[in-house]
Amino acid sequence: MFQISHFKTPCPEHLSSQILQMVVDNLTDISMVAIPPSNLLYNVYQYAIGYEVHLYLEALNGTKGIAVELLVATEVDDPETLAGFLLYLPTEEDPDACAVAYMAVQANHRRQGVARKLLREMVARYPHAELTCAVAKVPWFESMGFQMLGARGTQVLMNTRDYRSAGRVGLLDTSSIYSSLEVRQIHTYLLQRHGKRAMIDAEKQRDRHLDQMTHKANEYVRERLV
């Protein structure tokens, strides 16, 4: 049995640290880049996605000027241990709408209804909900009442209604993460360890991977919505 806790202010440190670890461990599933662990740039994106989620968790204190809410799932018998989380952004000017930012479930708690419970809790609060997901996950989200609206980059845009909210979602500018000292240090370490040629190949592999996912998402949506 799982219980859901709702936060509109910062959650306890023991939960936020578990969230960040879960994000790093599930980079391929959470990030729109979906870079595989075999790519030498994997550690760069691990740091970046972890810091990105850290900034959104910080935004729960209300000082960054955007609306952020968090749902966490814990076992009833073990409330200190995180089973899954869902971080979403309520839409400005539309009290019924929100957009999913990040969601993950611990590997040992999957296929136990955790994600369903988190999504249902969010939709009960904001019935006009939007998210993007990989092509392979579209049927599952359809079973949760979402429908396809189109493609967005490497993923499929889905909504609980057949149209998008006219309200605006507040986002943080996280682009500077990739030019930060920490990312440069990670990249320098990888360069020294693997060499320039290997790193160039890793970048090419990433770019091909992104192109393939983008093509796949566009083709899937085109075939389904024709």
With 80 as the cut, is the pLDDT of residue 28 above it? yes
Please tell me the distance from the alpha carbon of residue 57 to that of residue 12, in angstroms, as a whole number.
11
pLDDT tens per residue, range 90-144: 999 999 999 999 999 999 989 899 999 999 999 999 999 999 999 999 999 999 9
Closest CA to 98 of 2, 165, 15, 161: 165
Run of H or E including 199: helix 196-225
Q: How many CB atoms lie within 10 A of CB 166?
A: 9
At residue 166, the 3 state secondary structure works out as coil
Please tell me the distance from the alpha carbon of residue 222 to that of residue 9, in angstroms, as a whole number.
40
Q: What is the pLDDT of residue 1?
A: 84
With 90 as the cut, is the pLDDT of residue 217 above it? yes
Closest CA to 172 of 122, 103, 101: 101
Inter-axis angle of helices 181-194 and 196-225, to 10 degrees?
A: 110
Mean pLDDT of the region 8-19? 96
Q: Which domain holds residue 62?
A: 2-225
DSSP state of 11: P
The token duo for 56 is 């959104």
With 80 as the cut, is the pLDDT of residue 226 above it? no
Residue 59's CATH number: 3.40.630.30
Query: CB neighbours of 7 closer than 8 A, spacing ≥ 6?
Result: 60, 69, 70, 71, 72
pLDDT tens per residue, range 166-199: 999 999 999 999 999 999 999 999 999 999 999 9
User: C-alpha distances in angstroms, 159 versus 31, 41, 76?
Assistant: 19, 32, 31
Work out the end-to-end distance of the chain between its first and last CA atoms, rounded to an integer number of angstroms.
42
At residue 173, the 3 state secondary structure works out as coil
Number of domains in the chain: 1
Q: What is the pLDDT of residue 72?
A: 98
- Structure pTM? 0.94
Closest CA to 157 of 195, 131, 118: 131
The token duo for 163 is 């149209």
Cα atoms found within 13 Å of the Cα of residue 80, Cβ hemisphere only: 1
CB 89 within 8 Å of CB 98: yes
pLDDT tens per residue, range 88-98: 999 999 999 99
The pLDDT-based confidence of 225 (bands split at 50, 70, 90) is confident
